[in-house]
Amino acid sequence: MKKRIVFDALKLSNPYVGLGQVAMHLGKAVSARALEEKEFELCFLVPPEQHGVFGDSVAYFTPKWWQRYLPIGLPTADLWHAMHQDAAFLPPKNTPLLLTIHDFNFMYEKSPSKSAKRLSRVRRLIARSVHLTTISEFVRHELKRFAPEGYAKSRTIYNGVPDLSALAENHTVTEPYIFTVANWTARKQLHVLLEVMKYLPELKLVVAGNVETAYAKPLVAACKASNQAIEFVGKVSDEQKANYMAGCSAFVFPSRIEGFGLPIVEAMQFGKPIITTDGTCLPEVGGPLGYYWTAGMSLEEQAAVVRKAIAEDDSSRQNALKARANSFSWDKAAEQFWEVYKKV
């Protein structure tokens, strides 16, 4: 009899952002690899509209709302993969659980009482898990800090990043510019980048992503009133993002709290100089090819890092950046997850 693995892909309810993208790409890669793993069968938890998304060789199940509290009638499993630490549906407690942890950002963003409550839930999931994976070594170190009981049974499996470079068609900005993209909340530090731009008068800044947040709105209003060379283009499609990436002189990602840092890998796919911070996982992902704003740097010093990154750009660095970006592959991630599946 084949062993059954249940893979929670319910984040496909919103397939175009964050965890929805992870569920889509990892699910496709894991299901493709399943064709070679004859002793296993896969069952995906999915929203009803996503039945069939991973092909006909796997099974699908959509849980009822009440099964979140009473796990009767859920698929039986030899291993249940909860692909993020906030999974709403869990198997009976005698089912082996694999838990993927994406970050501990809530420990820095929430109030002490809220962060403690959320950490308590995550630690309960860790306690009942037979194995854990994290999406970066930084997150694994955070695991050791906040839930040390889980560290010994954990390993890092990096996310993959779909290749955007083939989507680029038209460069819509003609003058030299640097590009950035994020969902602009306080931890992304847009305010720092906007201040740095005052020391880079020769460059335009193009800002993509959601700026309708309480944090970003006043920053945008102040910029528009100052007549700086800053363009806010809002939320963009993958094709639009690819065009901005392809045409920019450099990519800047000023965030200081990340679990992985997907945008800098996307920029590396185009061979673009990346400037980011030395906080959390970002030096791990950017590696020696990145340029980093370190704690305590002045705005002038940060501007100098941007100029240095652009000045040192050449074909050799571009090729090395593209090669590094290619190392973050969903096929590679799926291969490593199958190693875990078969081990536990």
Predicted confidence at residue 109, as pLDDT, reads 87
Q: What percent of the chain is modeled with pLDDT above 70?
A: 100
Tens digit of pLDDT for each residue in 33-48? 988 888 999 999 999 9
Q: How confident is the model at residue 182 (pLDDT cuts 50, 70, 90)?
A: confident
Is residue 128's pLDDT more than 80?
A: yes
Domains of the chain plus CATH, in order, are 3-160+329-343 (3.40.50.2000), 165-326 (3.40.50.2000)
Q: What is the mean pLDDT of residues 125-134?
A: 97
What do you get for the CA distance between the two ends of the chain, in Å? Answer: 17
Predicted confidence at residue 225, as pLDDT, reads 83
Predicted confidence at residue 210, as pLDDT, reads 87
Is residue 170's pLDDT more than 80?
A: no
- CA torsion 272-277-278-279 (nearest 10°) is -130
User: Worst-scoring range by mean pLDDT, 115-129, 147-161, 208-222, 312-326?
Assistant: 208-222
Among the listed residues 59, 58, 80, the one whose alpha carbon sits nearest the alpha carbon of residue 6? 80
Q: What is the mean pLDDT of residues 243-253?
A: 96
Tens digit of pLDDT for each residue in 249-285? 999 999 988 889 999 999 999 999 999 999 889 999 9
- Euclidean distance between CA atoms 61 and 44, whole angstroms: 6
Q: How confident is the model at residue 73 (pLDDT cuts 50, 70, 90)?
A: very high
One DSSP character per residue, 32-59 reads HHHTT-TTEEEEEE--GGGTTTT-SSSE
